[in-house]
């Protein structure tokens, strides 16, 4: 389907953003947990992408996701154990090293950090930002860090209750809130963040509670869709592979990479649909194929 008519025209010459990729480290993923039919010993190194977004009209700076933190021993114990056993990682440079190199002051220049979701490979170390910075999470995510299932109340939890200064944390309204969310293209719930059509927050249910994506306008005829963990592998995005479902050895239950597989599949179909528009570039958080071909773009480094 040609989606060209469903995206708004550029309101004015300032109704766009600039995009810069920040270094967020790498994960070594056992692929049988993510891609159906993968061998048990197949491991792939994937990036954890983070993005600095600058809105020219307002001079606001926003970061989308923070990737991995460098001091992984300071994650909750269950996360640290996972990184020592099931999933490996490499963090030669984190978001904060990149920002320092770019001479961006994290104490005074970052207006907001928007999180696609609260998994450890996306949250980094958010408390390092200064008092100017606010934090935005998707609908339903707050319970992960405030409920009884958060760390340290639950020592097995991956979600640290001290992750954010709560007075600067905003949880987006539920999907049913028509005052906040509006349809755009194939997506039933989107929000025009700056009010000028340059950055849309996309409700992206399925992967994790509060999973959101961003659609950003870079030029009149060029958009980037930052897809977070819509899927963990580009082969699933292009429909040449399927999401793995496997037996969790700890519980004996069937499991997959998504909190709600059916909702995740519905959202994936919408992302595929908007990707048919030649103006829209799809970029997943862990897209190793995109990284191999495009690592020098958007001011990035390996």
Which sequence spans correspond to the domains of the chain?
A: 4-299
Q: Render pLDDT for 188-242 as a digit per residue (tens, 0 to 9).
A: 999 999 999 999 999 999 999 999 999 999 999 999 999 999 999 999 999 999 9
Hey, what are 110's tokens?
């970052």
Q: What is the mean pLDDT of the chain?
A: 94
As a whole number of angstroms, the distance between CA 257 and CA 228 comes to 13
The CATH superfamily label for domain 4-299 reads Ribonuclease Z/Hydroxyacylglutathione hydrolase-like (3.60.15.10)
How many beta carbons lie within 10 A of that of residue 101, not counting itself? 12
Mean predicted confidence (pLDDT) in 244-262? 84
Looking at residue 132, its pLDDT comes to: 96
Buried b (16+ CB within 10 A) or exposed e, 185-220: bbbebbbebbebbbbbbbbbbbbbbbbbbbbbbbee
Stated pTM of the model: 0.94
Q: Render pLDDT for 200-212 as a digit per residue (tens, 0 to 9).
A: 999 999 999 999 9
How many beta carbons lie within 10 A of that of residue 239, not counting itself? 10
Q: Render pLDDT for 88-105 as a digit per residue (tens, 0 to 9).
A: 999 999 999 999 999 999
As a whole number of angstroms, the distance between CA 173 and CA 213 comes to 15
């Amino acid at each position: 389907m040609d989606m060209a008519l469903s995206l708004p025209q550029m309101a004015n010459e300032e109704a766009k953003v600039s995009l810069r990729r920040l270094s967020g480290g790498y994960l070594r993923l056992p692929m049988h947990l993510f891609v159906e039919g993968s061998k048990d010993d197949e491991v792939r190194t994937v990036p954890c992408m983070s993005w600095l977004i600058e809105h020219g009209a307002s001079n606001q700076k926003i970061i989308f996701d923070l990737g991995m933190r460098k001091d992984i021993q300071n994650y909750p114990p269950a996360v640290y154990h996972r990184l020592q056993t099931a999933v490996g990682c490499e963090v030669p440079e984190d978001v904060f090293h990149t920002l320092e190199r770019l001479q961006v002051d994290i104490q005074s220049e970052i207006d907001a950090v928007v999180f696609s979701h609260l998994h450890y490979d996306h949250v980094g170390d958010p408390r390092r930002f200064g008092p100017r910075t606010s934090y935005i999470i998707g609908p339903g995510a707050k319970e992960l860090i405030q409920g009884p299932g958060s760390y340290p109340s639950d020592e097995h939890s991956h979600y640290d209750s001290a992750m954010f200064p709560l007075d600067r944390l905003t949880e987006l309204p539920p999907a049913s809130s028509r005052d906040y969310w509006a349809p755009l293209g194939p997506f039933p719930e989107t929000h025009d963040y700056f009010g000028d059509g340059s950055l849309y927050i996309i409700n992206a249910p399925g992967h994790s509670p509060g999973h959101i994506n961003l659609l950003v306008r870079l030029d009149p005829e060029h958009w980037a869709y930052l897809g977070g963990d819509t899927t963990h592998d580009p082969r699933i995005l292009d429909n040449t592979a399927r999401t793995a479902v496997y037996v969790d050895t700890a519980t004996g239950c069937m499991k997959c990479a998504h909190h709600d597989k059916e909702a995740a599949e519905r959202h994936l179909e919408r992302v595929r649909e908007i990707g048919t528009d030649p103006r829209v570039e799809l970029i997943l958080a862990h897209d190793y194929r995109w990284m191999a071909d495009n690592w020098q773009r958007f001011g990035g480094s390996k």
